[in-house]
Each structure stands twice: as structure tokens, then as C-alpha cells.
Amino acid sequence: MTWKQVFTSSVGKKLVMGFTGIFLILFLIIHVSLNACIWANDGGKMFNAGAHFMGANVVPRILEIGLFAGLILHIVQGLMLELSNRSKRGIAYASDYGNRGSKWYSRSMGILGTLILLFLILHMSDFWFPNRAHQNFVLGEEIDLYAKMKTTFSELWVVIVYVLGCFSLGYHLAHGFQSAFKTMGVHNKKYNQMLTSIGYGFSVIITLAFAMMPLSFYLSWLN
């Protein structure tokens, strides 16, 4: 079995989804922890210091390239798998199978992923792109990201779109977290039950923590 055969097989493609998915989860942990610094409520001093470390330091900026590679792989592979899987039925059933044995969000990973993708386009054009453009895409001076958050999240529609984006991510992870471990071969019952519980907990925490950020600005919980 050559590498090409392995990674173009259905199981190999899923392995790519699982590994990149876990990689993105690790990124989310860093992202949410750093952003939580806004709640230091110090006018953004702590948050901007953290953001500055990530944006003006060579190591995180190299890791950023890996993050993009992983994200693009996950998105392209995910959308291709979704389209391929959808084409396998042939003639559709007249009566719907329904929910027996599966959750709606486990059957909607492609749609949830697409919603996350749309959200990411908006999100990156709000923060990442203006900031990197200001740096001329090298390691230069950054904009005041805390102030940028404040203005961005003063608009109700933006806040609503962000909260919906966070919930799409939450449901994507509610299935994806445990699914990724199964894809990587964890079959022992005691680990699977544990990972499913951790996955639900993680999804809820990630969703609420991220969703609270735009709300905190919009509802003026921060000074």
C-alpha cells in the first residue's frame, strides 16, 4: 500500500480529517485562552500584550503557516468527502430514515463546517487581514486589536453572526471531538465514553466562551 493509496482511501481521508480536526482543536484552546484576557477588564492591556506576542514573534508566525495548511486541508478534504458521500446513494429514499441511532449534528458536519467557513471569512476580514495588512504581512507594528474588537462588536448584526458562528462550531465539535478519536482508532469503551463526555464539555465551554466575547463588548460589560 503506497502512501498515495493510503491517503486517497476512504479510511485514509478520514484520518486526515481526524488529525487536522484535533490540530484545529489545539489551536482553539490557545485562541480562546488568549482572547479570554479581554476579561481582565484593564482596557485591553493584557489582551493586546498577548496578541502582540502572537503577531510580532517569529515562532507563532511560523506556526500560523502550519495552522493555515491544516485548516485548508481540513476544509478541502471535508467538502470533498461530503460531496462524495452524498453521491453514493443513487436514488433517494421516499421515506426518511430519521434520527434512530444518530444525532442531527453528526449528520450535518458538512453544513456546519460550511457555516464555520463562512463565519471564518467574515472573522478574518474583520481582524486577521487588517492587522496583517498593517504589518505589511511581515513582523511590523500591529493595530490596537482590543479597540478594533470594541468597534466591530458595536454592531448588532455582527454580534449575531458571531454568536451563530460559535454555535455552528460548538455543534461541529460536539460530534467531531469524539469522532476524531474513533477515526484515529480509539475503540476501547472506557476511553470512548470518556472522550465523548470530554467532547461535550469542551464544545459547551468553547461555544459559550467565544460567544461571550462579542456579547461582552456589545452589552458594555467591559470598560
**Separation CA 21–CA 174 (nearest Å):** 12
Taking CB under 8 A as the criterion, the residue among 35, 168, 183, 207 binding another protein is 183
- Pinpoint the alpha helices (H) of the chain: 3-7, 10-35, 45-56, 58-86, 109-123, 129-134, 145-152, 156-183, 189-218
Confirm or reject binding of residue 114 to another protein (CB under 8 A). Answer: no
Smallest gap, in angstroms, from Cβ of residue 207 to another protein? Answer: 21
Q: Can residue 184 be called a binding residue for another protein (CB under 8 A)?
A: yes
CA distance 183 to 196: 13
When asked if residue 76 is in the footprint of another protein (CB under 8 A), the reply is no
Of 97, 156, 220, 223, which lies in the binding site for another protein, with binding defined by CB under 8 A? 97
Q: Binds 28, which of ligand HEM, another protein, none (CB < 5 to 8 A, cut-off by type)?
A: ligand HEM
Q: Does 87 bind another protein (CB under 8 A)?
A: yes
The grid coordinates listed for 71 are 485548516
- Report the interhelical angle of 10-35 vs 189-218 (nearest 10°): 40
Per DSSP, 143 falls in state P
Burial class (CB in 10 A: 0-12, 13-18, 19+), 114: middle
The footprint of another protein (CB under 8 A) covers 1-2, 5-6, 9-15, 81, 84-98, 100-103, 106-107, 109, 175, 178-179, 181-189, 192
The footprint of ligand HEM (CB under 6 A) covers 14, 17-18, 21, 24-25, 28, 74-75, 78-79, 81-82, 109-110, 113-114, 116-117, 120, 172, 175-177, 179-180, 183
